[in-house]
């Protein structure tokens, strides 16, 4: 109901016309010091891994950054660690992903993370997963039944973690996103909303993207009305 309410409010705000007077262009105000946009994915992952007692909790930013670099879901790698090493508690060296059946040594988590993310995003035998986005297609290669791996259990575990983290990120983001509703915003505030929302969109998972895209459209529409 939360997403329905927010989307409904944003769409209604598209039809409102701002009646505030335009800010005078000559008005001088001190430039605010920019602050980094919060990354709900990192915070969501860190909290979840901490709850699991994972030694990877402090490496949440690295895991998300690694996934971003190679264009994969930021929660896929943590999901793989859940089944392969109990969230890193039983990692083979610097490899909590069970990559290459732990036959390749990795000195650091960053090294193994890059190898796994690059493999999933580029190796030809993962092409079907890249086409469909289905964890089942990933698991059929990463944990094939002919190797003795329990593929259905692997798939269910990884999918469960990915889905849970996407939902938790969405809930975490909702309260914060309400401040971007366009109602009663000045032209300057609307432009700032659009700028910040676009930055949020770059770091949002699929579950949150729809709401952010609607808010961007609502703010653009409100801005157009003021320019008429």
pLDDT of residue 154: 97
CATH number of 40-166: 1.10.530
Contact status, residue 167 vs residue 207, Cβ threshold 8 Å: yes
Cβ neighbours for 114, distance < 8 A, ≥ 6 positions apart: 66, 69, 70
Q: Is the pLDDT of residue 141 over 80?
A: yes
Structure tokens at 93: 């060296």
Q: Phi and psi at residue 71, in whole multiples of 5°?
A: 70, 40
Question: Other C-beta atoms within 10 Å of 210: how many?
Answer: 13
pLDDT of residue 19: 46
63-86 mean pLDDT: 96
pLDDT of residue 23: 44
33-41 mean pLDDT: 67
Rounded to whole angstroms, the Cα distance separating 53 from 48 reads 9
Contact status, residue 121 vs residue 104, Cβ threshold 8 Å: no
Rounded to whole angstroms, the Cα distance separating 84 from 67 reads 18
Rounded to whole angstroms, the Cα distance separating 130 from 123 reads 10
Greatest alpha-carbon pair distance for the chain in Å reads: 72
Contact status, residue 162 vs residue 76, Cβ threshold 8 Å: yes
Using pLDDT thresholds of 50, 70 and 90, give the confidence band for residue 39: confident
- Residues 145-167: tens digit of each pLDDT: 999 999 999 999 999 999 999 99
Rounded to whole angstroms, the Cα distance separating 79 from 189 reads 39
Rounded to a whole number of angstroms, the distance between the first and last alpha carbons of the chain is 34
Burial label for 139, CB within 10 Å (0-12, 13-18, 19+), is: buried
Give the 3-state secondary structure percentages of the chain, helix then strand then coil, rounded to 5.
Answer: 70, 0, 30
| Cα 205 from chain centre | 3
Domain ranges of the chain: 40-166, 181-228
């Amino acid at each position: 109901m939360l997403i329905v309410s927010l989307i409904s409010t944003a769409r209604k705000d598209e039809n409102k016309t701002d009646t505030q007077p335009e800010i005078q262009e000559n008005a001088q105000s001190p430039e605010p010091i920019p602050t980094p946009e919060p990354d709900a994915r990192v915070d969501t992952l860190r909290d979840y891994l901490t709850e699991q007692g994972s030694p990877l909790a402090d490496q949440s930013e690295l895991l998300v950054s690694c996934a971003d670099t190679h264009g994969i879901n930021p929660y896929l790698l943590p999901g793989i660690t859940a089944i392969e090493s109990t969230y890193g508690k039983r990692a083979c060296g610097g490899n909590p992903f069970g990559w290459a059946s732990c036959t390749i040594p990795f000195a650091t988590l960053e090294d193994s993370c890059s190898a796994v993310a690059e493999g999933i995003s580029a190796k030809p035998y993962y092409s079907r997963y890249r086409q469909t986005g289905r964890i089942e297609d990933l698991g059929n290669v990463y944990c094939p039944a002919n190797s003795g791996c329990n593929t259905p259990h692997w798939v269910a575990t990884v999918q469960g973690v990915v889905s849970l983290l996407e939902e938790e990120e969405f809930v975490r983001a909702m309260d914060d996103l309400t401040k971007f509703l366009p109602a009663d915003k000045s032209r300057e505030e609307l432009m700032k909303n659009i700028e910040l929302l676009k930055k949020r969109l770059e770091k949002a998972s699929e579950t949150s993207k729809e709401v952010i895209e609607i808010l961007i459209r609502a703010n653009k529409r409100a801005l157009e009305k003021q320019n008429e």
